[in-house]
């Protein structure tokens, strides 16, 4: 009777151990799922902008991660800048449309080809560089981007953006 009792105890111990192991794995899986971002959050991380229909000197405003993104196709008479995003033969200004002074949204003025922040008089040129002596402390920020043909993918770091980072143009 002792061996039979011991056999039952061994079986009960192994069964309990197996259930605990399965429960532990399930708990770890559930915990990992709660740490992963929701699909809606993942989808909000990337925004694709087709620039094939962009018109020169006409501002396109898109939304990326809740922030306005300025995209401006430069005309031939606009000065080239290292901050420009080049797609084919076209040059584009791409930036997060928030003033680096207090986070206001600057307006683009077609006639003067500048971005003007009315809150404190901040002015940025057509490449997003701040005018000296005015409140904004730095140029408009360039979001991470990748070029795919005539499309600009915001939120992904492509080789062009990495070159800007290495050159100290974007932070």
pLDDT score for 65? 86
Which residues of the chain fall short of a pLDDT of 50? 1
pTM of the model: 0.73
Q: Checking phi first, is residue 118 left (phi over 0); if not, alpha (psi -120 to 50) or beta?
A: alpha
What confidence score (pLDDT) does residue 5 get?
64
For the chain, the 3-state helix, strand and coil shares in percent, each to the nearest 5, are 30, 25, 45
pLDDT at 124: 94
pLDDT tens digits along 84-98: 999 989 999 999 999
Q: Render the burial of 41-50: b for 16+ CB within 10 Å, e for the rest.
A: eeeeeebebe
Beta partners for residue 92, in sequence order? 73, 85
φ and ψ of 48, to 5 deg: -105, 130
Predicted local distance difference test score (pLDDT) of residue 4: 62
Residue with tokens 């986070």: 103
User: What is the CB-side half-sphere exposure of residue 138 using CA atoms within 13 A?
Assistant: 13
Q: What is the pLDDT of residue 2?
A: 57
Residue appearing with tokens 């560089």: 129
Residues in Cβ contact with 140 at an 8 Å cutoff, skipping those fewer than 6 apart:
70, 95, 96, 97, 98, 99, 100, 106, 115, 124, 128, 130
């Amino acid at each position: 009777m002792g061996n039979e009792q011991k056999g039952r105890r061994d079986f009960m111990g192994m069964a309990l151990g197996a259930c605990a192991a399965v429960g532990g794995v399930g708990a770890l899986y559930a915990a990992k799922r709660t740490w992963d971002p929701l699909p809606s959050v993942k989808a909000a991380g990337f925004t694709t902008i087709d620039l094939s229909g962009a018109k020169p000197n006409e501002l396109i405003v898109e939304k990326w991660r809740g922030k306005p993104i300025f995209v401006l196709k430069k005309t031939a008479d606009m000065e080239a800048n290292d901050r420009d995003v080049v797609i084919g033969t076209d040059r584009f200004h791409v930036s997060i449309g928030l003033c680096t002074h207090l986070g206001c949204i600057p307006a683009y003025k077609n006639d003067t080809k500048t971005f003007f922040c009315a809150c404190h008089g901040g002015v940025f040129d057509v490449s997003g560089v701040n005018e000296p002596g005015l409140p904004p402390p730095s140029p408009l920020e360039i979001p991470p981007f990748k070029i795919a043909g005539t499309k600009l993918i915001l939120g992904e770091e492509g080789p062009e953006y990495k070159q800007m980072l290495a050159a100290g143009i974007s932070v």
